[in-house]
Structure 1
Amino acid sequence: MSNHKLIILGNEIKKGERAFLELEVAKLHTRNTIKVPVIVERGKKDGPTLLLMGGVHGDEVNGIAIVRNIIRKKYNKPFRGTIICIPVFNVFGFLNLRREFPDGRDLNRMFPGFSNGSLASQFAHRFTQEIAPIVDYVIDFHSGGADRSNYPQIRCVTSEKKSLELAKIFNAPYILNSEYISKSVRDTIRKLGKTILLFEGGKSNDLNQDVIDSGVTGALNVMKHLGFHEGEPEINAPSIVVPESKWLRAPSSGMFQLRVENGSRVTKKQILGEITDPYGSYEKKVVAPFDCYVFCVNTAPIVNKGDALFHVSIDS
């Protein structure tokens, strides 16, 4: 990448400089301004620009903790290129530990947004105009919604050679093929010709140290591979690539007890969980329909018929 001026949110960041910027979104009904901190570190040598972002959904605190730990360990300080960190993207949701924006909308379905749209749409538009065009790579950190707990995994379109290569370098336990969803951050970044990985780990409103460690190590692997830092990526066992997956759903309503460890390999007819009634007259075992990997489990004590219980691989 040639020598160039780097201007973010109207501020020029020179080589070797650090900047703490704020993306102003809107005002609360109290007239307090909501600002999203944007932390920029530019190396002394030219290179690509990487964006690390957490908290697109305000209750997915593992992603926020991952980006926070990266900053704390100074991994976001590159010797070449630029690393941008947005630990809490949806500040509104984080204030209330809720997934949505105050207008009830899912921010990750509002991109690229409109300047005169809803509150979430205006925020998405500002990001799309001001931040997205200057980055080359993005890692977006998420957790499972509601009571669903994801085993650490990277989601990308596995037929895209560049994305799959980067996902393998990240080296989360699983890589899931996941198509682009309209109006999401991923889809917007893709349409701009950039490369994005989506990390999933743990569940909402719950901090899991193993998940946080996996996210931090994976991000550092990517940084080394792309030349932000010297050294080789720390690759342990190769990631398990899952080209196709499905949800196993509750056959009935009742109290739900988990009988399998998340992230494990199971065999056909192995008991994964059990659904019971409160009165001792009903028990229904949930079994694996085929040999597969389990990489997301429902941890809710009560489930309704049709609820998603297990996300599993479909072996070819």
Structure 2
Amino acid sequence: MIYQQKDLHILDEIIKPGKSAELSFNVAHLHTRTPVDVPVIIERSKKPGPTILFTAGIHGDEVNGIEIVRQLISKGINKPKVGTTICIPVLNIFGFINMEREFPDGRDLNRVFPGIKNGSLASRVAHTLVTEIIPEVDFIVDFHTGGAFRFNAPQIRIAPGNEDDDVMAEIFGAPFILYSKNLNKSFRKTCNELGKPILLFEGGKSFHIDKTVTNTGVNGAKRILNHFGMLRKKYNVSEPKKACIKILDSKWQRASFSGMFKANVDLGQYIKEGDTIGNITDPYGKFNHFVKAKHDGYVFNINESPIVYQGDALFHISTGIVK
């Protein structure tokens, strides 16, 4: 594709080639009347190239994704050799302030896209992102983490059936690629409907920063930038340690009993049907249930809560992979 380096019109501002800018959009104040802005960090090269958007913090408690985008900015990785990068480290700034997943109105930002101009608080943020920023970008990487004590192995999630997405997911180089349908009113589905290619990265768990996960995210972002010719020579691009494992189908294995829970397998480990993969006990030393694997597969999500209830999701295990 041939790119033309022209003025970037975004959020009522004009950013010329070779310039940097830190903009923000504000949709509401706190109840104290304190303004809350969503920072948008833009870096432009003088040379023409694509515009890549890095986002995180759609859910306010997913700090691991926020840390990845923060590192891209603090290390200068977002300063492109050609083209433009846009970084939004915290989309749900309201949730981040309170360390909560949702907005103050109780809505999940990732379930209200494309949003409404005069809708709910979350819907207004979604609408601003979709109408003011997304039209200007060529490719998007959206960083997430697992919720409710569930720790995700680093993975890229894409919808099945798109060869271009397959290629970009492999370039990113996360240990797993999970094929999953686009959820209704999600950011990913909206971008796809607008013809904007997007990779959704999952890794780690809420309220937690994990070095392995952040390194995977940062390295993946560098590979994407390098693929588009945007990464400056001062940054090294490492090859993934292993080939990506592509998961076509998966199942959650749930708790048969309530109690104190401990997993005894590692993320990314391949297990066999009948293997002991965890224990559920009581506080009094009278009950000990061995959790047995119900089928072969890779474990790519583990519940790290010390207390579980009957029916809680314990392990996310692949049931079908691309060989």
Q: How big is the shift at 1:44? A: 1.4
SS at match of 1:46: coil
Q: Equivalent residue for 1:303?
A: 308
Percent identity, aligned pairs only, is: 51
Q: Which moved more, 1:104-113 or 1:151-160?
A: 151-160
Counterpart-to-counterpart distance in 2, 1:142 and 1:106 = 13
Superposition pairs for residues 1-316 of structure 1, below 5 Å?
1-229=3-231, 233-236=237-240, 237-315=242-320
Counterpart-to-counterpart distance in 1, 2:5 and 2:176 = 38
User: Is the 2:7–2:17 Cα contact (8 Å) retained in structure 1?
Assistant: no
Counterpart-to-counterpart distance in 2, 1:25 and 1:49 = 25
Counterpart-to-counterpart distance in 2, 1:225 and 1:247 = 35
SS at match of 2:231: coil
Q: How big is the shift at 1:234? A: 2.6
Give the paired residue count: 316
Q: How big is the shift at 1:233? A: 4.8
Counterpart-to-counterpart distance in 2, 1:35 and 1:270 = 50
User: Is the 1:222–1:233 Cα contact (8 Å) retained in structure 2?
Assistant: no
Counterpart-to-counterpart distance in 2, 1:276 and 1:228 = 52
Structure 2 unaligned segments of length 5 or more: list them. none
Superposition RMSD in Å: 1.3
> What one-letter code is carried by the residue in structure 1 that aligns with 2:127?
H
Counterpart-to-counterpart distance in 2, 1:93 and 1:147 = 17
Counterpart-to-counterpart distance in 2, 1:118 and 1:3 = 36
SS at match of 1:84: strand
CA deviations 1:162-188 (Å, max 9, x no partner) are: 111111000011110111001111011
User: Is the 1:169–1:235 Cα contact (8 Å) retained in structure 2?
Assistant: no
User: Is the 1:250–1:308 Cα contact (8 Å) retained in structure 2?
Assistant: yes
Counterpart-to-counterpart distance in 1, 2:290 and 2:220 = 36
CA deviations 1:189-242 (Å, max 9, x no partner) are: 111101101111110001111111110000000110122125685322211111
Counterpart-to-counterpart distance in 2, 1:315 and 1:112 = 32
CA deviations 1:49-93 (Å, max 9, x no partner) are: 110011110110001100000111111000111100001111000
CA deviations 1:106-164 (Å, max 9, x no partner) are: 11101111111111111111111101111111111011001000111111124211111
Structure 1 unaligned segments of length 5 or more: list them. none
Q: How big is the shift at 1:279? A: 2.8
> What one-letter code is carried by the residue in structure 1 that aligns with 2:41?
I
SS at match of 2:21: strand
Counterpart-to-counterpart distance in 1, 2:238 and 2:165 = 18
Q: How big is the shift at 1:269? A: 1.0
Counterpart-to-counterpart distance in 1, 2:320 and 2:277 = 18
Which structure 1 residue ranges, 4+ long, deviate > 4 Å from structure 2? 230-233
Q: Which moved more, 1:27-36 or 1:223-232?
A: 223-232
Counterpart-to-counterpart distance in 1, 2:254 and 2:301 = 12
Q: Which moved more, 1:5-14 or 1:61-70?
A: 5-14
SS at match of 1:314: strand
Q: How big is the shift at 1:244? A: 1.1
> What one-letter code is carried by the residue in structure 2 that aligns with 1:241?
K
Counterpart-to-counterpart distance in 2, 1:147 and 1:49 = 35
TM-score (norm 1): 0.97
Counterpart-to-counterpart distance in 1, 2:25 and 2:49 = 24
TM-score (norm 2): 0.95
Counterpart-to-counterpart distance in 1, 2:208 and 2:255 = 24
